Amino acid sequence: MKATAETVGKEQKNRRIKMRFSTKSVVVTGVASGLGRAIACLLANEGAKLVLVDRAREQLEELTAILRNSGTEVGEVVGDVSEEATSRRAIALAKSQYGSIDVLINNAGINPTGAIAETDPSTWQRALDVNLKSAYLFCREAIPHMVEAGKGVIVNTASIAGQRASTAESVYGVSKAGLIMLTRTIARDYGSKGIRANAICPGVLESVMADRLTRMSPDQVAARDQRFAPTVPLGRLGTYEEIAKATLFLASEDASYVNGAQLTVDGGLTA
At 113-158, the pLDDT tens digits run 899 999 999 999 999 999 999 999 999 999 999 999 999 999 999 9
Instruction: Write down the pLDDT at residue 1.
Output: 43
Region 37-50: what's the mean pLDDT? 98
What does the pLDDT average to over 227-246? 94
In this predicted structure, the answer to whether residue 65 has a pLDDT above a threshold of 80 is: yes
CB 115 within 8 A of CB 168: yes
Annotation says 136 is catalytic: no
The mean pLDDT of 27-48, rounded to a whole number, is 97
Tell whether the torsion through CA atoms of 2, 78, 247 and 173 is positive or negative.
Answer: positive
pLDDT at 6: 58
DSSP bridge partners of 75:
51
pLDDT exceeding 90 applies to what percent of the chain?
82
Distance CA 77, CA 37 (A): 15
Phi, psi dihedral angles at 157 (to 5 degrees) = -80, 105
What pTM was computed for the model?
A: 0.91
Please tell me the predicted confidence (pLDDT) of residue 213.
47
pLDDT at 214 > cutoff 80? no
Alpha-carbon torsion (213, 215, 221, 224), positive or negative: negative
pLDDT at 227 over 90: no
For 151-271, strand residue ranges (E) read: 152-157, 195-202, 262-265
Listed residue (96, 193, 198, 205) closest to 149, CA to CA: 193
Single out the catalytic residue among 98, 136, 172, 257.
Answer: 172
Angle (CA) 74 4 70, round 5°: 40
Q: What is the mean pLDDT of residues 178-199?
A: 98
pLDDT at 210: 41
Q: Cα–Cα distance between 157 and 134 in angstroms, integer? A: 12
Domains of the chain: 5-203+238-264 (3.40.50.720)
More confident residue, 13 or 61: 61
Of 174, 166, 178, 170, nearest to 114 (Cα)?
A: 170
> For 230, what's the count of Cα atoms within 13 Å in the CB-facing half-sphere?
4
